[in-house]
Chain A
């Protein structure tokens, strides 16, 4: 499998971050950064990472099944993550999530046909004091109202 030069450099750097013989520690970062480029933790990505770390594919599977940000299937080009945890819930997070479901015609962890949008109801994303909060891919948006969400979605092109 070939990656962009930036990702290759990142992978090479990562391998120098840990004590000798403990390079498996690079596994989770490699899957995260790899997923960003490849679109998902595909079987090919798993096999490639396992090969580079000299570990078994099952060890990659173990990790993949545990972490909620690692996905086997590609999410949308714009992955909309709406927090409904308690601080957001108190100021309209639940209604915001319902609005997003209707607007996108999706529910939790679904992706639109054509792959532009996907939706996820997420746990606290560390924006409680500026709630309700969402993330579009890695970008935070604070004090989001349904109207503001519409504008954000309209800007996702």
Chain B
């Protein structure tokens, strides 16, 4: 079970992945033998403010995609409110390109439990759920086993590690729905309903699971918390760059020699990552395009990738660091087909609640299909771009933007490929007489 999926790279800085590949890495024995639960014991001696301040000092930002500062999010929980407080872990991991949370649970579930417990101390929470996508059934078994071990050793249940903290933790299975990774849709799903997002405010910190104050974070975010408390927020922050502390797991896939999941500091140079960590492109190939952090991010042209992997650098390049799911495309890639495949995904996963997304993704899928089938018109190319732009900011949850942004970027940056498809359509020559 501890067999790694890919060889590590010497350029990695291993913080959250440091136990990957150890013998029986998921067991509590291994965890305790490798500084496990030390941070919890330290946190028990700290005040809630001290814990939150330490997380703030680490400049840890959420690893689920949006990159919200974690310490600040925890600080929003109204701790004085006379309601139970909950913790929810987002292990829905469905963003195309992303396969890292899977490894954290498979190889180091106790670090997740410890991170959750520190979160529970910070806000006074009493219960938590790890919401795991339904396809990851084997992880539910691993997580359930780790939870049982933690109960048996007194790290869950009443008076944890001899303290006043009492906390119960459960797994919850999803059932196949990308939208349930969106935090408010996830909370609906957790309550036994369709994954339709909620209007915000109120944010989950104030009204989350079962309408109680809740901290909801990604798996990797929680896994970063024990090292932060153990070694201090500053030590973690110093691994990264200002405003983006620490390391993160980057999943690299597509046209590289050594695809895999690697842990690197925030701000690591992207080209160095592609060429040196992931072994570079296949011989004789050129870099054409990169999805930097999951298919919801605007795509980068190969010549735009000379930048560092951090939130600000990616924002400057008009894209996003996203979920850490990086997809590499070389010069053999058909970008029109990529655009179509991405849109088929969003059209399938749109929850259907709001019209711009439900109709927009379906129309975009149909138009992209038409172009790919060689039946597109020049005006279709413009219409695809325009329709996508009109979805921006007009949908109920960010899935609409997540569908529109990559499409807009592909049409803008690779328009010639769309034109080449249109040129194959004999009817496109006398476009004006064609009835649309």
Contacts and interface: CB of A to CB of B under 8 A. Distances in A.
B5 A129 contact: yes
B94 A28 contact: no
Given A86-B338, A123-B345, A129-B5, A66 B195 contact: yes
B5 A123 contact: no
A28 B135 contact: no
Contacts of A22: 191, 210
B327 A63 contact: no
Contact of B94 (A33, A59, A123, A138): A123
Contacts of B5: 129-130, 142
Interface residues of B, number: 59
Contacts of B136: 126
Interface residues of A, number: 44
B336 to A, nearest CB: 13
Interface in A43-61: 53, 59
Given A69-B134, A129-B5, A129-B252, A19 B193 contact: no
A129 B259 contact: yes
Contacts of B135: 69, 125-126, 135, 138
B138 A138 contact: yes
A38 interface: no
A18 B260 CA distance: 37
Given A70-B175, A86-B291, A126-B99, A131 B253 contact: yes
Interface in B177-215: 177-178, 189-195, 210, 212
Given A69-B134, A128-B98, A26 B93 contact: no
Contact of A87 (B173, B260, B327): B327
Contact of B259 (A32, A62, A130): A130
Contacts of A124: 94-98, 345
A24 interface: yes
B134 A84 contact: no
A86 B129 contact: no
A85 B348 CA distance: 12
B191 A69 contact: no
Contacts of A33: 173
A28 B177 CA distance: 12
B191 A25 contact: yes
B251 interface: yes
Interface of B: 5-6, 84, 93-99, 101-102, 127, 129, 133-138, 170, 172-178, 189-195, 210, 212, 251-255, 259-261, 291, 295, 325, 327, 329, 333, 337-338, 341-342, 345, 348-349, 351
* 6 shortest interchain CB distances as A-B pairs: A69-B176, A67-B175, A27-B192, A68-B176, A87-B253, A24-B192
Interface of A: 17-19, 22, 24-29, 31-33, 53, 59, 62-63, 65-70, 84-87, 89-91, 123-131, 135, 138-140, 142
